[in-house]
Chain A
Amino acid sequence: MKPFLVLMLSLLSLSAHAADLVKDVRARLVDAPLVRGQFEQKKTVQGFKKPLVSKGDFLLARDQGVLWNTRTPFASTLTLTRKSLSAQQATGGAAYHLDSTKEPALAAVNELLFALLSGDVAALQKRFTVEGALVGDKGWKLDLTPTDAGLARVFKHIHLEGDGYVRQVQLDETRGDSSVITFEQLAQTPPPDATEAERLGK
């Protein structure tokens, strides 16, 4: 066993420690086993003058995973479950697949993503210093700073805003890129259809 390998692994992983809990935020959030809706993502990438905008819809099923369907500017799907991460372009051709039996950190990535999208403050507290404030009667804001070295190598900050649901996620990456994702038309129904259930079962 080499310290070097260990380091390498900590770079590749997404995992972290805990901080204080914002109970009020939790109280304002809807406890939903399933959330679906539309998203718009504006990603600022070094080397690109304009933000890269993509839109689509998503499905978040607790304990199962996340389906992220980009509709514009091109159609593609991203499926993240506890077992695997796979991406596919609707036109066929491009695709890739990661297996969590080969890369166990995927489970942790899934957990983090789920926590972010569902505003699971308790889970986030394990990995971030959480600061925040309540906004108006229903709203809230959270600022997350990674406490874990591995996670800090990926994210500088994460900013969350919402009410009963998470409405906006802003990811500031350590390397300088950043993404702002806004969610709309959030709902707890309908349940996954056959195709979705099949994707989540992978």
Chain B
Amino acid sequence: MANKLAILWALVVLAVGIHQVQFWRSASLDTDVLALLPEDEQAPEVDAATRKLADEAGRQLVLLVGAKDWPSAQKAADEATRVLTESSDLLEPAVVDTSTLEQAVDFYRPYRDRLLTPAQRKWLAHATPEELGGTALMKLYQPAGAQLTDWNADPLGLWQDWWQARAAETSARPRDGRMWLSGEEREWVLLMWKSKVSAFALGDGSRVTATVERARAKVEASVPGGRLVAAGVPLYAEAAAAQASWEMSTIGFGSLAAVLILVWLTFRSLRPILLVGVSLTLGCAVALTVTALVFDRVHLLTLVFGSSLVGVAEDYGFHYFAARQGKAPSERGPVMRALLPGMVLALVTSVVAYLALGVAPFPGLRQMAVFSAAGLTAAFLTVVCWFPSLDTGALPITPFAERFSASITRWPRIASTPAWWLSGAVVTVLVAVGIWKLEPRDDLRQLQGAPANLISDQRELGRLLGLPSPAQFFLVQGDNDEQVLAREAVLKTKLDALVSEKVFAGYRAVSDWLPSEAQQREDSALSARAEAHAVAAVSESTGEAPTRAAFSPEPLTPKQFLAGPAAAVIRQQWLGTLGKAQYSVLMLRGLNDPKVLPRLEEVAQGLEGVRWVDKTAEISGLLSRYRRIMGGLIVAGYFAVLLTLVARFGRQAWRAWVPSVLGTLLTLAIFGWAGAPLQLFTVLGLVLLLGMGVDYGIFLLEHPGDGSAWLAVALAGVSTLLSFGLLGLSATPALRSFGLAMLLGEVTIWILTPCFRLPPGKATH
């Protein structure tokens, strides 16, 4: 029977091995923070919009090079460009092809008469014939200026203004053959480059980042007061990949080394090291395979989190070797059978706890849950199926193990004495005050592990360039294109009022580039009337008979527009058909003050088909909701665990239960005293603690007075502590907070559990 199981498990391991080879050959790893975010089941169109906006800039690199004055800024830009050009295998300048614009102007030309800005509409509707004629004459007689059309195709010079309004979507302007802007006490040159390499290739090093840093150093060295501000997905992706691989090796190898050293110290034998090593390796390999099969792509953070698995998965091996030490090789089977009930119970509570992490609808968390549950189970199966067959030699008790096993008798044990009651009261007060001081915080930042300099560069760039925000936007819905465009127009009139109040800088909407048919008809009539007056006045004044040019009798349709050269600029905001409806996104520029967000939210109220989307607030709300749900789950979980323990240990069950409850409360209190915020990820750490903390109690109750159980618990505690302690070093705030909660909880539970052990001579069953 045991042999059959061993062979079966070997076959599974073989299959996993084959999959692993394939997996690492075509590593489909995710570094995108968005992939960690929950999908919005109620509103798939919001997701589609968010992802489309994020995809847009996959390989783009935007740089601003600034200095105190314009000549220095130009010099700095030259220096930066030279450095960037040196890395031509990595980067290429974003091509600026003059024909594109001319094509766009030509494309729009037949529809010139029906493209008006709101200000023009207002003016044309109220202007007197004298005013229109006068303006036409003034513009006609003005010394030369930039003209996009012949005079008779635009007698009032409206076309130029329309393009200028489109150009207002960025604050950069051409100057001396460069893109220039002025702000924050500097003159800036805008440079745009593209990464030629995939941003998500792991192990490729941070080559784009290094190049940008060289350019930054060059700018700062060669121009006094010179500055380079850079942003782009490639930089974020490289930072994420570099961080993850560093953390994986720190946490993974750090805890592996610690575990192996502990095994060596305790058993002074190579066999336990090899076997525990095998159980850990198989645990991780199976975890990765299962995750890859279930989720298709594996996120980098899953691997980082998974690295801490080493510290938990070795528990089973420890228990086996601690119990088997000093016994005859022939007793391996009975030893394993004696351990099995406790180990199964411990595995079940841990796996259930890990899977509970996956209750929250974050794909990233679900991956971590599946990864850990699978890894733990595989390590357990390896121990149960293989260890008795492979571990054939003798394993004498080492002096270290003996001394340590004996130490349990000297560990304090609670009793009904005044000293214990007093310490209990003090702890109660400290815990109560600490928990009262605890402050929840649910902002999105806990998910972003990006280096602070990248984030501040991104903000500065957004501020200077007036780039639209991808996190807040209006989603406009309609039954057809025309309705979407018309609803956008209604929304825009409301937004224009806020723009003129300087609540935010402006917006970018599809209907600015493609007005609805109704709007086009209206504008065409408006400009025809006004320009007739203009032509008449000029005709009278000059004695000649110019005629107004003819325009397309048909409106510009969405189909034509999307196929045309002008659509590129706005295409990602036109979502097209999702389900039964049509959608577009209206983006906002210059949204720097979060305090104005409620006013924007108000705008959408009462407008049919318009929805205000605030991804930041939405995710924060979600984090907060799940923090509370998981909090409730912990309370329920502790009662469920208590019932399970009572079923097995009867009236002594509290001895395994109370240390975990206390550990959880103390951890919360320490967070409170330290001023660390309570986040979803802190709570998730506590969920896991619920599953793993009782393990120690279970083993001490299963084998009361057994020094070897204490030894196994101690080893397990130290290694778990190490791996989660290392997770506390992670640069991702979520993982750090999770790791710290686990670390504090584990330490307190580990110290407390032996205090609640059975008095000598008592047994639970």
Interface on A for B, CB 8 Å cutoff? 1-17, 41, 43, 45-50, 52, 54, 68, 70, 73-74, 76, 78, 87, 89, 91, 93-96, 102-105, 108, 126, 148-150, 153-155, 171, 173, 175, 177-179, 181
Contacts and interface: CB of A to CB of B under 8 A. Distances in A.
B164 A103 contact: yes
Interface residues of B, number: 61
B142 A87 contact: yes
A9 B98 CA distance: 11
Interface in B100-157: 100-101, 104-105, 128, 130-135, 137-138, 140-148, 150-152
A13 B173 contact: yes
Contacts, number: 174
Interface of B: 60, 62, 94-98, 100-101, 104-105, 128, 130-135, 137-138, 140-148, 150-152, 160, 163-164, 166-170, 172-177, 179-182, 190, 192, 465, 467, 541-542, 544, 546, 566, 568-569
B143 A52 contact: no
B138 A14 contact: no
Given A46-B150, A47-B152, A76-B138, A3 B173 contact: no
Contacts of B170: 1, 5, 9
Contacts of A52: 140-141, 542
B140 A8 contact: no
Contacts of B143: 41, 43, 68, 171, 179, 181
Interface of chain A: mostly helix, strand, loop or mixed:
mixed
Contacts of A11: 101, 105, 146, 148, 163
A16 B178 CA distance: 9
Contacts of B128: 93
17 contacts: A4-B104, A5-B167, A5-B569, A8-B167, A11-B101, A11-B105, A12-B163, A15-B174, A15-B176, A16-B176, A17-B177, A45-B140, A45-B151, A103-B164, A108-B175, A150-B174, A179-B144
Contacts of B179: 6, 9
B130 A8 contact: no
Contact of B151 (A47, A50, A105): A47
Nearest to A107: B175
Contacts of B134: 74, 76, 89, 91, 93-94
B546 to A, nearest CB: 5
Interface of chain B: mostly helix, strand, loop or mixed:
mixed
B491 to A, nearest CB: 22
Contacts of A78: 138, 142
A6 B172 contact: yes
A48 B539 CA distance: 10
B160 to A, nearest CB: 7
A167 to B, nearest CB: 16
Contacts of A155: 144
A99 B134 CA distance: 21
Contacts of B177: 15-17, 148-150
A13 B175 contact: yes
Given A2-B568, A52-B141, A68-B143, A17 B167 contact: no
B569 A4 contact: yes
